[in-house]
Structure 1
Amino acid sequence: MSTPSPADVSPLSPAEERFMRSLTRLLVVLPRKLDADLTRSTGLSATDYFVLVHLSEAPRRRMRMTDLATGSAMSMSGVSRVIDRLQKIGLVARERCPDDGRGWEAVLTDDGLRGLQDAWVVHLASARAHIFDHLGEVDLESVAAAFERIADC
């Protein structure tokens, strides 16, 4: 996006300004709360948890490291650090790709699946307490669709 001139930009309405400020605060505060609940209860960070989720949903619970990085919205070095940490505690193994032997795959171990199942309960309770219990009658489908449009533009 190029830098627009001040004449080309409409000011935000009071409602838009309030929304923008509350969204900005939420984007900082909510991940910290979800991460703190997981870390305190399971020793896993939210990043660890979501990497394990991606692996659990993959065929044969394995993914090429590059695909895992893309799916997790992480850099290769970032996902490598997470996999190294999870490998040290036995939740993930790293194996050569059987297709070409050049790349590496992260593989969710049986212990990793059990750890993910334990963490899932904590994550679910945290999501309910910090998000869903506060939404009332909000149309979640519409909000999710709007978030997807924003993320994809």
Structure 2
Amino acid sequence: MTNFDDPRLTAVGLLTEVHSGLMSRLQPALSASGLSDVDFETVIRLARSPRQRLRMSDLAAQTQLSTSGVTRVVDRLEREGLVRREACPSDRRASYAVLTEAGQERLASVVPQHVSDIEEWFTGLLGADELETLLASLRKIRDVVRPCATAGAHNDPLGSQSCSELGHRA
């Protein structure tokens, strides 16, 4: 007999509900800045990366977009002047997505409200120890289910080649 009250079902259900609820609370500030959630994820990852740039393949791995999907997002952000492409000097096949000054300014205009919303609807509801435990738990799970989420970062234990070997669609 199936146990429909299994705590594993509850854990995934709660995670799904929290994600959905948080995204609906966070979306207004992003929309007001003219960024979709995918646009924001792309530019914030660039902003938090060394030299505010990532190889396109690493950006695809981090966002779990396909190569063509990340190309479309970067094309759109490039048309808006928020991102530019740079050729990779050591590999003619590769290019970088680089956050522009306009991209930095757009992020600077939305991040204060975004962080305030995160504090109100998420992190501010937890004590310091609870937040630290949650972050450690989320990283532990993320590293298993999205091993390429830090592709291109300085302390990335997996290089881009490892991500493609793991079956990422880059």
Kindly indicate whether residue 8 of structure 2 is the aligned counterpart of residue 25 of structure 1: no
Q: Please, which of 6, 10, 18 is the counterpart of residue 12 of structure 1?
A: 6
Tell me how far apart the structure 2 counterparts of residues 32 and 73 of structure 1 sit (CA, whole Å): 21
Whether the 8 Å contact between 1:49 and 1:119 is mirrored in structure 2 is no
Alpha-carbon distance, 1:54 to partner: 1.8
Change (3 A) 1:63 1:150: closer
Deviations 1:28-74 (A, max 9, x none): 222232223211x2111222122112212333322210011112232
Choose from 30, 45, 49 the match for 1:38.
30
Unaligned runs of 5+ in 1: 1-5
| Of 21-30 and 87-96, the range deviating more from structure 2 | 21-30
**Pair 1:10–1:29, CA change in 2 (3 A):** closer
CA contact (8 A) 1:64 1:106 kept: yes
What TM-score, normalized by structure 2, do the two folds share?
A: 0.71
RMSD across aligned positions (CA): 2.5
Q: Which residue of 2 aligns with 1:58?
A: 49
2:114 is matched with: 123
Name the % identity: 35
Partner of 1:104 in structure 2? 95
Structure 2 distance, partners of 1:34, 1:45, is: 11
Which amino acid in structure 1 is aligned with residue 6 of structure 2? Answer: L
Are residues 1:92 and 2:86 paired? no
Larger RCO, structures 1/2 (Cα 8 Å, 6+ apart):
2
C-alpha separation between the residues in 2 aligned to 1:20 and 1:102? 40
Confirm or deny that 1:70 pairs with 2:64: no
Task: Report the alpha carbon displacement of residue 130 of structure 1 after superposing the two structures with TM.
Answer: 1.7
TM-score (norm 1): 0.78
Aligned equivalents of 1:137 and 1:58: distance in 2? 26
CA contact (8 A) 2:29 2:110 kept: no
Point out where structure 2 has 5 or more consecutive residues left out of the alignment.
145-170
CA distance in 2, matches of 1:89, 1:51: 14
Structure 1 residue 142: Cα displacement: 1.0
Compared with structure 1, are the counterparts of its residues 30 and 111 closer, same or farther at alpha carbon in structure 2 (3 Å cutoff)? Answer: same
Paired letter, 2:45: H
